[in-house]
Structure 1
Amino acid sequence: MSDVGPELHDDEALAAEHALGVLSARERALAEARMARDPAFAAQVGAWRERLAPMLTAVGPVEAPAGLWARIERALPANDNGLLKRMRLWRGTAMGSMGLAAAGIAAAAMLASQPPVVIRTAPPPMAPMLDARLASTAGQPMFVAAYDPARKAMLVASLMAPGADPNHSHELWLIPADGKPRSLGLVAPGTSKSMPMKPEMAGMVTEGAALAVSVEPMGGSKSQGPSGPVAAIGKLARI
């Protein structure tokens, strides 16, 4: 399957990450130096802070249960040594539970920040926005996604470290009520991506539909469904 959808704008993503406080010390210093010399970028950061402030107050920390990674490793297929090595790599680099909350907020807020749709006639009732948290079979959060029905776009964010698993592609699948997976495209580790939905698929994005990410050969699955192991899965729910 070929990849679809543009990557998120670098400046906008950096401003959001600075406002959320998820940058490293070096990245934060570079961002603040740029704010001092670039009023437009400083204004972007300020807008993100104002937009996210009320949402962040509702996010509480969640402790990861003891022995979580040991259970993940035991749940992996015994004959998939490559995947086992990758999961061990992710254990040392994956974000914690607050990273999951921040990425989920960034996904929803980034959709909300897009230019408004101009309404010239009274629109029909709009379906609610949906989001999903995709986790491994052991409960480890790995991806977050949000769907905006007004723009018919899925925003997905990987919680893994950039550059993790360079020998495989991670492919996002929509699994609607009929149980047949439909590919939405590829998501590189540690990145966020907006995926426009094809008209015939937009109606399948409903509350309770599942999203899954599979580990595929480079370039994605060559079949009509996942050809590699499913790394994470979750269901869409109302925001």
Structure 2
Amino acid sequence: MTDKDRLAAEHALRLLEGEELITARGLMASDPAFAAAVADWEEKLAPLYDGASGTVPPPAVWARIEAELARPARSAASANVVALQRRVRRWQIASVLSAAAAVALAFFAFPGTKPAPAEPTAPLMANIPIADTPLRLAVTYLPERSEMLVSASGLTADGVHDHELWLVTPDDGAKSLGVVVPGEQRRVAVDAALTRHINDGAQMVLTREPLGGAPKGQDAGPVVAQGTFVQI
């Protein structure tokens, strides 16, 4: 298995973070072969998810796993063991979050009230397909930094139009997240007033605008793509 194959598999398993996640998101947007590999892994892994129960392993199981990983490496693969130790911690966190979500679903909202979506504690991601091409606009939201990573590395400018990214909010309609810069990966600070609307299932749209973005006081241009945030 090549490094790129490994990266595709780990991206499908939602195990990546930091620079590895940014690299994978960039490849998803610019490398059709990599995007196809991720999709292939997701299809292969789907039966495992279908058969999995919602039971959270007891603490003793994690303790035994960590004790085993703490033993001296018996081969040259010690670097892989260290990486696996980090992933065990991420699996623990994911299990706790899944259990908390299951408990939350057991409660009913009082009549006449609408519960507010929980603010995310883990990154959210969205792959926005561009028309009928294999290209995708990759967006990752980092809640701890109130930042978005927008990767448009596979897109090219036409010199006539710009494309603007919008967050669809239930109260105020669509709010602009700024103009997408073709061929680049950008970090975008998210206004505090918008962060409460960014959660699992939140929608985004991409519109075609004049150069510089949608003129103030005018309607946004035509929608050319759309996507939905999902929890990583």
Which of 1 and 2 has higher RCO (CA within 8 Å, sep 6+)? 1
What TM-score do the two structures reach when normalised by structure 2?
Answer: 0.49
Higher Cα Rg: structure 1 or 2? Answer: 2
